[in-house]
Copies of this chain bind each other. A is one copy, B any other.
Amino acid sequence: MVPHLVTALTGPINELEQRILDSMPAIERWFRLEWMEHTPPFYTSVDIRNAGFKLAPVDTNLCPGGWNNLTTAMLPLAVQAAQAAIEKICPEAKNLLIIPENHTRNTFYLSNVLQLQRIFGMAGLNVRIGSIHPEIRESTPIALPDGETIVLEPVVRNRRRLGLKDFDPCTILLNNDLSAGAPGILEDLHEQFLLPPLHAGWSVRRKSRHFQSYEEVAKRFGKLLGIDPWLINPMFNQCGEVNFAEGTGLDCLRGNVDALLTRIRRKYKEYGINEKPFVVVKADNGTYGMGIMTVRDVADLDQINRKTRNKMSVIKDGQEVSDVIIQEGVITHERIQAAVAEPVVYMMDRYVVGGFYRVHAERGVDENLNAPGSSFVPLAFEESAHLPQPGAKPGASAPNRFYMYGVIGRLAMLAASYELEATDPDAEVYD
């Protein structure tokens, strides 16, 4: 089940793979020591782009969907990691309530929720699904395409606790990224564990904040391995007060796009890379692949058509875009058959538990693949997981490639941990 990779990987990435393999004990120890100081997010997925000459995370999700893309064979690892997470955070837990997104008609998304219910059920919890959708007023079974049924139940809130009519959970798992802001019903729950916390939702998160933390992590990791952190770090700039619909704030955007393209060009020259630099402009709090635009030349910005303007103006849950991040574009040189592919790594607690390739036949190597028409091919974690094969030739072994992805995924997860510490509204500050 190893997907057939038609990937033209050139020198640098194989060197990086070799460096990462050779440094494995140092890397694992480094992560262990980091996790002594920092708490990993409860669960995380990371989109990675492998350009052949560099390998970088481009998006880190702290309320990941897509768990249904993991194969049955990956389940045991996810269950074991879930047990470890529960044991650490709330060993006395019996009941877990999952709060999903309000996509009550998206059966693909609901299959993901059912998979989470299965994972935490097998980890030994009573798991039920509490919808905060206003239309869910009674227990609502929904048939899924594969013949299974998911049951959404209306949440019940009293002054101190959130639950269902006959179900009092001590732990609440958010699978809702709160793009529209944290609803009041989730606030002031001081008696129950809310995982991840509210400030892991997109009402608080900013991509620029995350990648600032990631840059810090990449620098320290680069030092550990003796590599240029750029090889794993996508550079970025940011702009506030951009209004695509009205065309205001675009000067800032132009200036930053231009500056970033110049920085990328310089790096490409340094490494002798014959690719055309590009940047990706994204809503700073965007998710679901919405509000994303590839820019290859600053002049492109003067010719944004109405469709793109609309696309960039409003993102998930009708949120208006104002802050944007301008991120170094990382082309993907991974392909499955003819289609462009990017790996997505799934983590539970500090453990890599699986992953898949997001594949899009109609998109280019420099475009966002998280778009309608994409499909999913499980990574070959079922056989080899993230287990490297020392001695295999760099670039030749799927397990070693996946180990490297797992390392990059964990670096992004660590950055998210830094980020959550910095944005924690209840953090104790020692001056």
Using A121-B390, A124-B28 as known contacts, say yes or no to A80 and B77 having CB atoms under 8 A apart: yes
Instruction: Point out the residues of chain B lying under 8 angstroms from A75, CB to CB.
Output: 385, 387
A350 CA / B94 CA spacing, docked (Å): 19
Indicate which residue in B27, B350, B382 contacts A124 across the interface (CB closer than 8 Å): B27
Instruction: Point out the residues of chain B lying under 8 angstroms from A79, CB to CB.
Output: 385, 387
> Are the CB atoms of A125 and B387 closer together than 8 Å?
no
Q: Residue A24 at the B interface, CB < 8 A?
A: yes
> Are the CB atoms of A28 and B83 closer together than 8 Å?
yes
Bitwise interface map of A from 26 to 43 toward B, beta carbon under 8 Å scored 1, else 0: 111101110110000000
Q: Residue A357 at the B interface, CB < 8 A?
A: no
> Are the CB atoms of B124 and A94 closer together than 8 Å?
no
> Are the CB atoms of B76 and A386 closer together than 8 Å?
yes
Offer 13 A-B interface pairs, CB within 8 angstroms, sorted by A: A25-B94, A25-B124, A26-B94, A28-B83, A29-B93, A29-B94, A29-B124, A32-B124, A35-B87, A73-B73, A76-B387, A80-B81, A122-B388
Using A36-B91, A73-B73, A80-B351 as known contacts, say yes or no to A28 and B387 having CB atoms under 8 A apart: no
How far in angstroms is the closest Cβ of chain B from A44?
16
The 6 lowest CB-CB distance pairs between A and B, nearest first, are A28-B124, A76-B385, A32-B91, A122-B387, A25-B126, A32-B87
Instruction: Point out the residues of chain B lying under 8 angstroms from A31, CB to CB.
Output: 124
Bitwise interface map of A from 76 to 108 toward B, beta carbon under 8 Å scored 1, else 0: 110111011011000111110000000000000
Instruction: Point out the residues of chain B lying under 8 angstroms from A383, CB to CB.
Output: 72-73
Bitwise interface map of A from 48 to 80 toward B, beta carbon under 8 Å scored 1, else 0: 000000000000000000000000110111011
Chain B residue nearest to A399 in the complex (CB): B122
How far in angstroms is the closest Cβ of chain B from A200?
23
Q: Residue A195 at the B interface, CB < 8 A?
A: no
Known: A35-B87, A76-B76, A79-B385. 7 other contacts (CB 8 A): A28-B125, A32-B124, A75-B385, A75-B387, A79-B387, A80-B351, A84-B84
Indicate which residue in B25, B84, B350, B384 contacts A125 across the interface (CB closer than 8 Å): B25
Q: Residue A123 at the B interface, CB < 8 A?
A: yes
Instruction: Point out the residues of chain B lying under 8 angstroms from A122, CB to CB.
Output: 387-388
Instruction: Point out the residues of chain B lying under 8 angstroms from A35, CB to CB.
Output: 87, 91
Instruction: Point out the residues of chain B lying under 8 angstroms from A28, CB to CB.
Output: 83, 123-125
Chain B residue nearest to A29 in the complex (CB): B94
Residues of A within 8 A of B (CB): 24-29, 31-33, 35-36, 72-73, 75-77, 79-81, 83-84, 86-87, 91-95, 121-126, 350-351, 381-388, 390
Instruction: Point out the residues of chain B lying under 8 angstroms from A388, CB to CB.
Output: 122
Instruction: Point out the residues of chain B lying under 8 angstroms from A386, CB to CB.
Output: 76
How far in angstroms is the closest Cβ of chain B from A107?
21
Chain B residue nearest to A121 in the complex (CB): B390
Indicate which residue in B91, B125, B381, B390 contacts A33 across the interface (CB closer than 8 Å): B91
Instruction: Point out the residues of chain B lying under 8 angstroms from A76, CB to CB.
Output: 76-77, 381, 384-387
A28 CA / B381 CA spacing, docked (Å): 26
> Are the CB atoms of B32 and A92 closer together than 8 Å?
yes
A122 CA / B124 CA spacing, docked (Å): 28
How far in angstroms is the closest Cβ of chain B from A43?
15
Instruction: Point out the residues of chain B lying under 8 angstroms from A25, CB to CB.
Output: 94-95, 124-126
Instruction: Point out the residues of chain B lying under 8 angstroms from A26, CB to CB.
Output: 94
Chain B residue nearest to A34 in the complex (CB): B91
How far in angstroms is the closest Cβ of chain B from A382?
8
Instruction: Point out the residues of chain B lying under 8 angstroms from A93, CB to CB.
Output: 29
A259 CA / B326 CA spacing, docked (Å): 81
Chain B residue nearest to A119 in the complex (CB): B387
Instruction: Point out the residues of chain B lying under 8 angstroms from A125, CB to CB.
Output: 25, 28
